[in-house]
Amino acid sequence: MQNLKEHITHLVFKQIGAVSDRQGNDTYIVGGFVRDLLLGRNRQLSDVDIVTVGSGIELATRVAAALRPGLKVSVFHNFGTAMFRYDEIDFEFVGARRESYRLESRKPIVEDGTLEDDQQRRDFTINALAICLNSNRFGDLLDPFDGVTDLENRILKTPLAPEITFSDDPLRMMRAIRFATQLDFVIEENTLAAIESQSKRIEIVSKERVSDEINKIMLSSKPSVGFKLLEKTGLLALILPEVQNLKGRETINGIGHKDNFYHTLEVVDRISKNTDNLWLRWSALLHDIAKPVTKRFDQRLGWTFHAHNFVGERMVPKMFERLKLPLNEKCKFVQKMVSLHMRPIVLSEEEVTDSAVRRLLFDAGDDIDDLMTLCEADITSKNPDKVIKYMANFQLVREKLKDIEERDALRNFQPPVTGELIMETFDLKPCREIGIIKSAIKEAILEGEIHNNYEEAYQYMLKKGAELKLVTKEN
The least distance separating ligand ATP from the CB of residue 261, rounded to whole angstroms, comes to 27
Binding track over 214-253 against ligand ATP, x by CB under 6 A: ----------------------------------------
* Chain centroid offset of residue 26 CA: 39
Partner from ligand ATP, Mg ion, none contacting 17, C-beta within 5 to 8 A by type: none
Q: Is the distance from CB of 468 to CB of 431 less than 8 angstroms? A: no
| Residue count (the chain) | 475
Partner from ligand ATP, Mg ion, none contacting 169, C-beta within 5 to 8 A by type: ligand ATP
CA distance 369 to 266: 20
Residue 114, beta-bridge partner list: none
CA distance 392 to 474: 55
The least distance separating ligand ATP from the CB of residue 112, rounded to whole angstroms, comes to 17
| Contact residue for Mg ion among 22, 47, 296, 431 (CB under 5 A) | 47
Binding track over 325-364 against ligand ATP, x by CB under 6 A: ----------------------------------------
Partner from Mg ion, ligand ATP, none contacting 123, C-beta within 5 to 8 A by type: ligand ATP
CA distance 219 to 331: 17
Helices H, strands E: what count in the chain? 24, 15
The least distance separating ligand ATP from the CB of residue 171, rounded to whole angstroms, comes to 5
| Contact residue for ligand ATP among 26, 28, 29, 49 (CB under 6 A) | 49
CA distance 349 to 427: 47
Nearer to ligand ATP, 156 or 444 (CB): 156
Query: Is residue 465 a contact point for ligand ATP (CB under 6 A)?
Result: no
Partner from ligand ATP, Mg ion, none contacting 171, C-beta within 5 to 8 A by type: ligand ATP
Q: What single DSSP character describes residue 79? A: T
Among all residues, whose Cβ is closest to Mg ion? 32
Q: How far is CA 397 from CA 143, 241, 350, 352, 401, in A?
A: 57, 35, 11, 7, 6
Q: How far is CA 302 from CA 246, 254, 262, 418, 421, in A?
A: 18, 10, 21, 48, 52
Q: Is the distance from CB of 31 to CB of 49 less than 8 angstroms? A: yes
* 70: amino acid identity, one letter: G
Nearer to ligand ATP, 32 or 312 (CB): 32
Q: Is the distance from CB of 244 to CB of 259 less than 8 angstroms? A: no
Per-residue burial over 255-287, b if 16 or more Cβ lie within 10 Å, else e, is eebeebbbbbbbbbbbbbeebeeebbbbbbbbb
Give the binding range for ligand ATP (CB under 6 A) out of 5-13, 26-34, 77-85, 361-369: 26-34
The least distance separating ligand ATP from the CB of residue 98, rounded to whole angstroms, comes to 13
Query: Is residue 169 a contact point for ligand ATP (CB under 6 A)?
Result: yes
- By CB under 6 A, the residues from 276 to 305 that bind ligand ATP are none
The least distance separating Mg ion from the CB of residue 441, rounded to whole angstroms, comes to 56
CA distance 393 to 352: 8
The least distance separating Mg ion from the CB of residue 237, rounded to whole angstroms, comes to 29
Please report, as ranges, the residues that interact with ligand ATP according to CB under 6 A: 30-32, 47, 49, 122-123, 127, 169, 171-172
